[in-house]
Amino acid sequence: MIIGGGSAGYVAAIHAAHLGAKVALVEKDKLGGTCLNRGCIPTKALARTAEVLLETRRANDFGIEVNNVKTNFSKIMARKNNIVSQLVSGVEQLMKGNKIHVHRGTGRILSPHLVKVNDEEIATRKLIIATGSESTPLPIPGRDLPGVLTTDDILELTELPESLVVIGGSYVGVELASIFNALGTKVTIVKRRPLRLEPVDEEIGRRFAQTLPRQGIEVKIGAAVKAIKRKGAVLSVIWDSPEGEQGVHGQMVLMATGRAPYTKDLDLSELGIQTDRGAIKVNEYLETNIKDVYAIGDVLGKNMLAHVASYEGEVAVENAFDHPRKADYRAVPNCIFAQPEIAGVGITDKEANDGGIPYKVSKFPFVACGRAVTMGETTGMVKMICHADDGRVLGMHIMGPHASDLIAEGVLAIRLGATAEEIVHTIHAHPTLPEAVHETAMGQLEGAIHLLRI
């Protein structure tokens, strides 16, 4: 029995069915959870629209005359909704095809081996909790004013706001800022501390932050927001500064201030399931302190990413089947689908430095990569961190075109313990963006071919 049908739960259900289990899944809302309905997929559908729009605007650079480019917000949102429906119905089909019994309703745990959904009590030998997370708006006056949005709300807008203030500089806030800015909204990001985008590499994060004003996104740092006020049609986001009270104004405000594990209906303390600040505690086999009860995904409050949730789903199922497997977080990719894209895996040079690890850094700019030049996408670079003694890849960080796709090579290298030399000895197709990864690996040895050594 799995409670929650998001990226963690539905993948766990399918994997368990593949391994021959009789599987039931409880979902109180739509299958696919946050990722498909209110997260990764709708934001990436909109990010693609933003990308097409930006490319169309500079079509003249490619010798294509395009005049009078206009957007139609209802069509943009309809496309996003269609993509979501298509993928949700795909998951529904997968449930049917794998003979997974989907119970519609709120799952309540009566005991480790008994779950109640609506009026039905369902016995189970193993239980996996995959109830996800929810937005956590700042607890400040004005948070409930009309026009103050969570990330869920902004994905349901019917009209493009003229201006938007984004509170918080999480990757989700930055992605949405990037999308709405491209669509024509005047965007201001308001943040207490400098935009670091952790766990992004510091240098890449800094370079990315420098691109924001050039794109037209204003960033206000040092703003510990204390209230939101409305005057007519205008919302003001207010904070104190040494010079006195300050504020920025916008038609709408997005609270991109993080998410917290969601366990509301579960009565965890009654069951004796241990938590830490709302997150369910598990061991390295993803089992809770109660035998036969596992927890996976955002409800663990750690790596709140869909691919980690799905990975944990597979690991927990195998452990439930007595095929012991530890969750291994050495190579977790993180991606930011903004303009330009950012992706990273493994340690940063600061972490290597702080940890006293002997390391070497190599970098290769996209401006020296033939494919990037043909694409007209030369901003950014690949950066690789390798162990100074044996050349093992410890980290890879990318800002630039298709960074989120390119990072897969770094993920695999770290997972397999590959060295820079092994990447160098691997033939990379020409002309492609992965050649930039190849050249960065060369920088760990004698030097990249397409960069002059100074």
Ligand X SMILES: Cc1cc2nc3c(=O)[nH]c(=O)nc-3n(C[C@H](O)[C@H](O)[C@H](O)COP(=O)(O)OP(=O)(O)OC[C@H]3O[C@@H](n4cnc5c(N)ncnc54)[C@H](O)[C@@H]3O)c2cc1C
Near ligand X by CB under 6 A, which window of 33-41, 229-237, 279-287, 362-370?
Answer: 33-41
Near ligand X by CB under 6 A, which window of 119-127, 208-216, 225-233, 295-303?
Answer: 295-303
**Among the listed residues 297, 380, 401, 443, the single contact to ligand X using CB under 6 A:** 297
d(CA 436, CA 445): 15
> CB of residue 202 vs ligand X: minimum separation in angstroms?
22
The tokens 């400098």 sit on which residue?
A: 194
Task: Indicate whether 2 belongs to the interface with ligand X (CB under 6 A).
Answer: no
> CB of residue 332 vs ligand X: minimum separation in angstroms?
10
**Among the listed residues 4, 161, 346, 434, the single contact to ligand X using CB under 6 A:** 4
Near ligand X by CB under 6 A, which window of 39-47, 275-283, 355-363, 394-402?
Answer: 39-47
Contacts with ligand X, 247-276, as mask; x by CB under 6 A: ---------------x--xx----------
Task: Indicate whether 305 belongs to the interface with ligand X (CB under 6 A).
Answer: yes
> CB of residue 266 vs ligand X: minimum separation in angstroms?
6
Residue of 131, 135, 110 lying closest to 121 (CA atoms): 110
> CB of residue 414 vs ligand X: minimum separation in angstroms?
18
Residue of 112, 39, 130 lying closest to 314 (CA atoms): 130
Task: Indicate whether 29 belongs to the interface with ligand X (CB under 6 A).
Answer: yes
Q: Helices 171-183 and 40-57, interaxial angle, to 10°?
A: 40
**Among the listed residues 24, 35, 95, 347, the single contact to ligand X using CB under 6 A:** 35
Task: Indicate whether 170 belongs to the interface with ligand X (CB under 6 A).
Answer: no
Task: Indicate whether 131 belongs to the interface with ligand X (CB under 6 A).
Answer: yes
What backbone phi and psi angles, to 5 degrees, belong to 23?
A: -120, 135
> CB of residue 276 vs ligand X: minimum separation in angstroms?
17
d(CA 264, CA 24): 21
The CB-side HSE value for 419 (13 A sphere, CA atoms) comes to 10
Task: Indicate whether 344 belongs to the interface with ligand X (CB under 6 A).
Answer: no
Neighbours of 417 (CB within 10 A): 11
Contacts with ligand X, 140-169, as mask; x by CB under 6 A: -----------x------------------
Task: Indicate whether 421 belongs to the interface with ligand X (CB under 6 A).
Answer: no
Task: Indicate whether 306 belongs to the interface with ligand X (CB under 6 A).
Answer: yes
Binding residues for ligand X, how many (CB under 6 A)? 37
The residue among 299 and 403 lying less far from ligand X, judged by its C-beta, is: 299
Q: For residues 251 and 184, is the Cβ–Cβ distance under 8 A?
A: no
Residues belonging to the active site = 430
Task: Indicate whether 33 belongs to the interface with ligand X (CB under 6 A).
Answer: yes
The residue among 43 and 188 lying less far from ligand X, judged by its C-beta, is: 43
Near ligand X by CB under 6 A, which window of 225-233, 279-287, 302-310, 377-385?
Answer: 302-310
> CB of residue 338 vs ligand X: minimum separation in angstroms?
11
Distances (CA, A) of 50 to 56, 338, 401: 10, 9, 14
Task: Indicate whether 295 belongs to the interface with ligand X (CB under 6 A).
Answer: no
Q: Angle at the Cα of 290 (from 284 to 292), degrees rounded to 5?
A: 80
**Among the listed residues 143, 249, 302, 307, the single contact to ligand X using CB under 6 A:** 307
> CB of residue 171 vs ligand X: minimum separation in angstroms?
8
Token pair for 431: 């002309």
**Among the listed residues 14, 130, 316, 433, the single contact to ligand X using CB under 6 A:** 130
Q: Interface residues for ligand X in 100-119 (CB under 6 A)?
A: 106-107
Q: Interface residues for ligand X in 172-201 (CB under 6 A)?
A: 172
> CB of residue 103 vs ligand X: minimum separation in angstroms?
8
Token pair for 443: 């920088």
Contact residues for ligand X (CB under 6 A)? 3-9, 26-29, 33-35, 38-40, 43, 106-107, 130-133, 151, 172, 262, 265-266, 297-299, 304-307, 309
